[in-house]
Copies of this chain bind each other. A is one copy, B any other.
Amino acid sequence: MLKTPRCPTGGCHVVITGGAGFLGLRLARTLLANGQLSLAGAPPVAMAKLTLVDRVAPPADLMADERVAAVTGDLHELLTHKDRAAAAFDASVDAVFHLAAAVSGECEADFDLGMRSNLAATQALLEVCRALKTAPIVVFSSSLAVFGHAPGLPLPAVIEDLTLPTPQSSYGIQKFIGEQLVADFSRKGFVRGRSVRLMTVSVRPGRPNGAASSFLSGMLREPLAGVRATCPVPADTPVALSSPARTIQGLVCAAESSDEAWGPRIALTLPALTTTPAEMAAALERVAGPAATALIDWTPDAAIHNIVKTWPARINAQRARGLGLLPEASFEQIIRDYVRENPEAVVLATGGQS
């Protein structure tokens, strides 16, 4: 069990890197709304302080919460300057969610960027946490992209908890190396680490990003907003997805699980819903009608397809199930949740039961 939280108030202090990104903001809002956190199986304590680290400042509504602090800047630069790092990471920190990363497409195009933003920054974060000598909880956002296949290098039809990762992208390699670092820093007692292999998250609100998976949100989000979108892979390409809500649930579960419940395997593959762009479009049509699906351009892009096709699509997340983590039952439900949560971004939804 973790010792008493370190904040003078008796509540806990949580840091989120990438805290102004989509997942970071959603996690922040979830933690603040929950109002309390169970630290690695200990009884829940109040959320006393939430530090959001990102290149950009969080939105005003979050900053208005007196529990929220923001540290802005490049994460790697911040972590490798001792006095700057101390602005976010001090001995009061109970848990760190490390979500900041360069995304898959960026890392494949710019090798040095990925090595710095994903590998070097993660290593620096772990060293900063180690130097605190308080063994904070560190939840590392790994990725399904640790699994990849290539000619002569097949993956099993279904990914199991013990499947050997053979990443086929620099992003996947960097995430898998991050898992190894988190595991060893945990074994040495420097941190209490958990690595969570996130699925592609869909439907992401907001704008497209540099991830090769960006279209898996865009092909729903843009048509719902009345905007054209492209699906750059064949319609029958199987993909493994998770909703924003289930993804956040997995991250929080990682911080709240006791060492015993989490077990000695530091990395955990989250559950996924297996679907295809064709099925996703059909679900979109049920939610928003043919006017929405007519906005999807089915235009193959070899560069994106070459990355996406190396990702596995079927996952047997047995350990995750044991922790109570389950995939969504249907992609239609995921779209309906998006419509309900993002009314300002939706013009084409025809409603229907939610």
Interface residues in chain A, defined as those with a beta carbon under 8 Å from any beta carbon in chain B: 111, 150-153, 162-168, 170, 173, 176-177, 180-181, 183-184, 187-188, 263-265
Residue of B nearest to A111 (CB): B188
Whether A150 touches B180, Cβ cut-off 8 Å, given contacts A111-B188, A168-B187, is no
Output the least CB separation between A288 and chain B (Å): 40
Q: Among the listed B163, B173, B180, which residue makes an inter-chain contact with A173, where contact means beta carbons less than 8 Å apart? A: B180
Number of copies: 2
Q: Which residue of B lies closest to A172 (CB)?
A: B184
Q: List, in ascending order, chain B residues with CB within 8 A of A187's CB.
A: 150, 168
| Chain B residue, CB-CB nearest to A176 | B180
Nearest chain B CB to A175's CB is how many angstroms away? 10
Cα distance A263–B152 in the bound complex, in angstroms: 7
Question: Distance (Å) between the CB of A49 and the closest chain B CB?
Answer: 30
Given contacts A151-B264, A264-B153, contact A181 B177 (CB under 8 A): yes
**Given known contacts A163-B164, A164-B163, A177-B177, A170 and B184 CB-to-CB distance under 8 angstroms:** yes
Cα A212 to Cα B177 in complex, Å, equals 24
Alpha-carbon gap, A81 to B261, bound state (A) = 47
Complex Cα distance, B163 from A21, in Å, reads: 36
Identify 15 new A-B residue pairs, CB closer than 8 A, beyond the known A162-B164, A167-B184, A173-B184.
A150-B264, A152-B264, A153-B264, A153-B265, A163-B164, A164-B164, A166-B183, A166-B265, A167-B180, A167-B183, A170-B188, A173-B181, A173-B183, A177-B180, A177-B181
